[in-house]
């Protein structure tokens, strides 16, 4: 185990060995217990501002074309709009008593909110920041995904998985029965991948035909999904094995490898070449080569890492430590240059950001 004092001293060592070119932008971090969004300046590697919200934020997403970030406080069913230029709260909208998750449309004209009380899919018009429409769902929802072409949404529940036609606002019959969790469309929008947690299956569905393509048994409960950037590989983690399951989702979907990675691995994200996998129990991140699936490095990051986000330029991997309340920043270029497998040297700095950080969005400026 590496002490917190050692972690905080690592930035000085990194600064003495190799200067880093900073990322020009912000990481917006949802502090669930702190009731605020922390805006971290990734050029200065420091917190620029804490933006208080009414409620406990659990999710944040950044627009690419609008100068806005959107945060969800599920306990009061509200969406909050934050201005990037001023780092201040602009508008708030309550859409339900309780909410689950949000998804930003590809054209950035709408934000979709999945709510629990009542069970709805709510479309928010981002120009007016008002509710555009609501769709009643058949079951209490769990997960939400939007197709890249902007035509469909997928909603999972503990009983089934459904498609939503966003133009007609119609809900499909259930595509499959089971205890479903994460759902995700492939990049061509033609296939939906759904994780059946009860049966430990990955189910692939044809979107156009609304029918099953195949069930893929896997060795872990499908709790978390992460796609490679080209969409050609799907990585799955969950209860049952200290491993990442690699799936090839195109053509006839099939399971590839099951790769040992960390201890009770959870959250993931990717750069062009690397897969980052958090292990909350051991407080480290395992880093694998996507091409070879070999373990490159294990980096201690802090206490209870539960979220990873890699910046678009592959400069940094941002790791949120829920228990210690800080942001660990890994230097992606440095990770591939060091020769020791288990080493903290890929860790650039650790920044205290608030109480129980659980989600982050990165936006260049």
Mean pLDDT, range 199-214, rounded to an integer:
97
Mean pLDDT, range 102-123, rounded to an integer:
96
Say which residue the tokens 């090839």 belong to: 248
CA–CA separation, 279 and 257 (whole Å): 19
CA–CA separation, 58 and 99 (whole Å): 10
Range list of β-strands (E), 14-140: 25-31, 36-41, 46-52, 59-62, 68-73, 78-83, 88-94, 98-104, 110-117, 120-125, 130-136
CA–CA separation, 15 and 332 (whole Å): 15
Tell me: the pLDDT tens digits for 330-341?
A: 999 998 875 555
- pTM, to two decimals: 0.92
User: For residue 22, is pLDDT > 70?
Assistant: no
Tell me: the pLDDT tens digits for 178-195?
A: 999 999 999 999 999 999
Which pLDDT score is estimated for 73? Answer: 98
Portion of the chain with pLDDT greater than 90, in percent: 89
Mean pLDDT, range 340-359, rounded to an integer:
85
Domain 1-25+266-365 is of which CATH architecture? 7 Propeller (2.130)
Would you call 11 helix, strand, or coil by DSSP? helix
**What Rg, from alpha-carbon coordinates, does the chain have?**
20
Domain ranges within the chain, ordered by starting residue: 1-25+266-365
Tell me: the pLDDT tens digits for 315-329?
A: 999 999 999 999 999
Tell me: the pLDDT tens digits for 159-178?
A: 999 999 999 999 999 999 99
User: For residue 9, is pLDDT > 90?
Assistant: no
CA–CA separation, 60 and 45 (whole Å): 20
Mean pLDDT over all residues of the chain? 93
User: For residue 342, is pLDDT > 60?
Assistant: no
CA–CA separation, 167 and 123 (whole Å): 11
User: For residue 224, is pLDDT > 70?
Assistant: yes
Q: Closest Cα to residue 112, out of 53, 149, 166? A: 166
Mean pLDDT, range 104-115, rounded to an integer:
97
Which pLDDT score is estimated for 4? Answer: 45
Give the strand order in the sheet containing 36-41.
Answer: 46-52, 36-41, 25-31, 357-364
User: For residue 42, is pLDDT > 80?
Assistant: yes
């Amino acid at each position: 185990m590496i002490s917190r004092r050692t972690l905080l001293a690592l930035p000085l060592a990194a600064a003495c060995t190799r200067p880093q070119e900073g990322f020009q932008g912000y990481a917006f971090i949802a502090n669930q217990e702190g009731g605020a969004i922390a805006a971290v300046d990734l050029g200065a590697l420091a917190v620029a501002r804490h933006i208080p919200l009414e409620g406990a934020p659990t999710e944040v997403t950044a627009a690419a074309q609008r100068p806005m970030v959107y945060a969800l406080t599920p306990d009061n069913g509200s969406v909050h709009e934050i201005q990037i230029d001023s780092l201040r709260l602009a508008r708030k909208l309550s859409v339900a008593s309780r909410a689950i998750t949000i998804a930003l449309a590809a054209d950035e004209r709408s934000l979709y909110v999945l709510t629990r009380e009542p069970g709805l899919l709510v479309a928010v018009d981002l120009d007016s920041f008002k509710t555009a429409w609501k769709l009643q769902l058949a079951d209490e929802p769990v997960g939400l995904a939007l197709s890249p072409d902007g035509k469909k949404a997928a909603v999972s529940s503990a009983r089934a998985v459904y498609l939503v036609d966003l133009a007609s606002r119609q809900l499909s019959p259930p595509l499959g029965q089971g205890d479903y969790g994460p759902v995700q469309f492939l990049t061509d929008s033609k296939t939906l991948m759904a994780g059946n947690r009860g049966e430990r299956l990955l189910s692939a569905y044809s979107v156009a035909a609304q029918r099953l393509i195949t069930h893929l048994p896997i060795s872990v409960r499908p709790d978390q999904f992460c796609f490679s950037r080209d969409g050609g590989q799907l990585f799955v983690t969950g209860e049952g094995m200290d491993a990442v399951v690699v799936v090839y989702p195109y053509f006839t979907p099939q399971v590839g490898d099951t790769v040992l990675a960390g201890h009770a691995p959870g959250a993931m994200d990717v750069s062009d070449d690397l897969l980052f996998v958090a292990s909350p129990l051991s407080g480290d991140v395992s880093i694998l080569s996507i091409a070879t699936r070999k373990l490159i490095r294990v980096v201690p990051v802090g206490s209870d890492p539960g979220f990873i986000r890699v910046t678009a330029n592959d400069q940094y991997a941002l790791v949120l430590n829920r228990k210690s309340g800080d942001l660990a920043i890994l230097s992606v270029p440095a990770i591939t240059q060091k020769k020791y497998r288990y080493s903290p040297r890929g860790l650039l700095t650790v920044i205290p950001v608030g109480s129980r950080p659980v989600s982050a969005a990165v936006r260049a400026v």
